[in-house]
Amino acid sequence: MKDVPTGTEPVLGVYLSTTIDLKSRYVSPGETRVRLLPPEEIEDPSAVQFALAWRPAPDDFTRYPNLKLISSIAAGVDSITNCPSLPEGVAVVRVRDEAQASRMAAFAAWHVVTHHRHMTELLANAAEGRWQRAAAPEPFHDWTVGILGYGLMGRTVARGLAALGYPVIAASRRGGEGEPGIEVVGGEGSMREVARRSKVLINLLPLTEHTRDVLNADFFAQMPKGAVLVQLGRGEHLVEDDLLEALDSGQLSAASLDVFRTEPLPEGHVFWSRPDIIITPHTASDTTPQEVIRQLADAVEEVMAGRSPANLVDPHAGY
Ligand code: GLV
C-alpha cells in the first residue's frame, strides 16, 4: 500500500517537457499537497500519480503506469492530447485563469490598436526623429474585430475590444448569447461569416483535428480586402505559405503572429524579413507558476478523492 497517500504526504508527480525546464519554473514553495520531480530524480515510476506536462516526448507517459491525472501548464492541451503515449482514461486538465485571459485581452487589444492606428509607422517615424502623424484612423464601425474561439479567453478579449469601441463578432461552435457590442455567431458556417465581416481577425482557437490549417487561402479569401490577421492560437492553425500569398496580393494588409509551426521561429524564416508581419515569441499570455501549481494541486486532490477535477478536457475533442 506504499503508493496510497495518507492525506498528509504530498502526492508525487513528474514534470514532462521536451522544450521547457519545468522544474526551474513551476515551483510553489507553499504548496504541500503535491511534490513534483523531473524524471531523472524519480526512483520508483510506479509511485508517480500525476504529471505536469508541456510538449512531452512521444513515449513519455509509458514509464508511469499509475498516472491518474495529467495537467497542462497552460490553456492549451494539444501537445498532451496529441501525445502517442497518452494513456486512455487518465484525466487531462488545463489551466483556466481569468488573469491570464485579461492579459490576453490586453495583448490582443494592443495589436488591434497598433494596426488600426498605424503604430508601427508612428514608431518608425519617431525612431528617425520625425514628428509626423499617420493617416487619420478609420471609423470604428469599419474596424469590426472577429474572434475565433469563444471560451473564457475569447469572451474576455471580446469584452476588452468592445469596451474600446470596436464592433466585435465572435464565432462559437456551441453558439451563445451576445452582449452589448458583441455578436455571437454559432454553428456551421460561423467561422466563414466571421471571416467575411472582420477587418481584424483574432484567432484564439484550440488546436484540434478540426481546426488544424483553418487559417488558409480559402479563409483569407472570405475576408474583406486589406484585412488583418492576429494569430494567437497555435502555429498549426496557419498555412504559412497561404498567409504570405495573401499579404503579397494585398488580400491581407498585415499580420501579427505570436505562435508558429516551429518554435522558436527558425533563424532565416521568411516571416522575419517581412515588414508587414509583427512577430512575438509565443508570449501573449502565460499563467503564473503559482497559479498553475495551485490549480494542479486542487485537481490532484479531487482525483485522489475519486471526484472529477475542474477544467477537465475531452482528450478526443482536444479541448
Ligand atoms: C498558451 O499557449 C496556452 O495554451 O495558454
User: Residue 4, Cβ neighbours under 10 Å: how many?
Assistant: 9
**231's grid cell:** 494569430
Tens-digit pLDDT profile for residues 226-271: 999 999 999 999 999 999 999 999 999 999 999 999 999 999 999 9
Tell me how far apart the alpha carbons of residues 245 and 247 are, in angstroms, rounded to a whole number.
5
Query: Coil, strand or helix: which one is 271?
Result: helix
For the annotated catalytic residues, the residue numbers are 234, 282
> 75 C-alpha vs ligand 1 centroid, how far in Å?
5
**Rounded to two decimals, what is the model's pTM?**
0.93
User: Residue 285, Cβ neighbours under 10 Å: how many?
Assistant: 23
Q: Which of 55, 77, 157, 285 to mutate to test the pocket of ligand 1 (most atoms within 8 A of CB)?
A: 285
| Residue 4: pLDDT over 70 | no
Closest ligand 1 atom to Cα of 76 = 4
pLDDT of residue 298: 98
Tell me how far apart the alpha carbons of residues 128 and 122 are, in angstroms, rounded to a whole number.
10
Tens-digit pLDDT profile for residues 14-72: 999 999 999 999 998 889 999 999 999 999 999 999 999 999 999 999 999 999 999 99
Cβ-based neighbours of 30, under 8 Å, separated by 6 or more: none
Cβ-based neighbours of 69, under 8 Å, separated by 6 or more: 49, 50, 51, 90, 91, 92, 93, 299, 300, 303, 309
Which long-range contacts link 63-68 to residues 24+ away (Cβ below 8 Å)?
A: 63/39, 64/14, 66/3, 68/303, 68/304
Tens-digit pLDDT profile for residues 67-115: 999 999 999 999 999 999 999 999 999 999 999 999 999 999 999 999 9
Domains and CATH numbers, the chain: 11-97+287-304 (3.40.50.720), 98-279 (3.40.50.720)
Q: Which of 92, 286, 288, 295 to mutate to test the pocket of ligand 1 (most atoms within 8 A of CB)?
A: 286
Mean pLDDT for the stretch of residues 165-193: 93
Closest ligand 1 atom to Cα of 100 = 5
